[in-house]
Each structure stands twice: as C-alpha cells, then as structure tokens.
C-alpha cells in the first residue's frame, strides 16, 4: 500500500484530497499508477522507470499523511499487517484509537478535504 503517491512528484493523493477513483491514471508494466494531475501523468510517461526509481522508497504515514523516506520510518504491526509510520509517537498512538478510520483513509475510502480536493491537480 503506497498511500497513492504520485510517482512523478512524490505527493500523497490522499493528503492533497484527490480521490484515487477519479485521479489521472496510467499503466506501466501491468501496474496502474495514480497521479495528482494530468501534467504529472504526462511527465511520468516520458521516463517511467526514472520516476519509479526516485519514489520507490517513499511511504505515507497513515495518520499525518506525510510523505517520508523509509529510512525515517518506524514499522509497526497491526492485525498481522506491517505498516510504516513517521517517527512521531503521536501518530501511532492516534492510529491505535481508530485504526479502521486511518486504514480506510489511507486506502482512499475515507474522504479528506485536502488543499486540492476542489480542483484538478496541484497546479
């Protein structure tokens, strides 16, 4: 689960308030990728392997929705699943209070009014 990170700019679609169901999408090597805007999709298609390499070690904290590199993440197990959180102890503490909500939100099943929820992309 990648928290729907735009492979071009590395932004979390969830944090931006972009619904993954209606986000621009492109398929590469049998996998569908979600983008924050059409422009990022077009840039990605010019050199997909480069952009996937650049964002391969990013994760989205399930609580603060910050995009982080795995080297600064903390793995926690919940319901037999390993999740990566930012180092802030508050995030995991908050997660344990309402894990179903945070999992739904991370999967794009719980709406979040982010800064780009009312427009198409981050431009």
76 occurs within a structural domain? yes
Please tell me the pTM assigned to this model: 0.81
Q: Is residue 88 part of a domain?
A: yes
Nearest to 4 by CA among 108, 112, 123: 108
Residue 90 belongs to some domain of the structure: yes
Domain containing 44 equals 13-106
Contact between 35 and 6 (Cβ < 8 Å): yes
Task: Indicate whether 119 belongs to any domain.
Answer: no
Domain count, the chain: 1
Asked, for residue 75, whether it belongs to a domain, the answer is yes
Which has the higher per-residue pLDDT, 83 or 108? 83
Assigned domain for 50 exists: yes
Residue 115 has pLDDT above 70, yes or no: no
pLDDT in tens, 67-88: 999 999 999 998 899 999 999 9
| Residue owning tokens 């979040």 | 112
Is 123 contained in some domain?
A: no
């Amino acid at each position: 689960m990648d928290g729907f990170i735009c492979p071009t700019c590395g932004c979390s679609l969830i944090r931006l308030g972009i619904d993954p169901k209606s986000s621009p999408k492109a398929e590469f090597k049998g996998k569908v990728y979600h983008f924050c805007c059409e422009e990022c999709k077009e840039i990605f298609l010019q050199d997909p392997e480069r952009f996937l390499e650049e964002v391969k070690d990013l994760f989205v904290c399930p609580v603060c929705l910050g995009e982080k590199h795995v080297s600064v993440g903390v793995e926690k197990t919940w319901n037999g699943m390993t999740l990566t959180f930012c180092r802030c102890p508050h995030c995991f503490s908050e997660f344990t209070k309402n894990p179903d909500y945070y999992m739904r939100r991370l999967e794009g099943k719980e709406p979040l009014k982010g800064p780009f929820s009312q427009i198409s992309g981050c431009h």
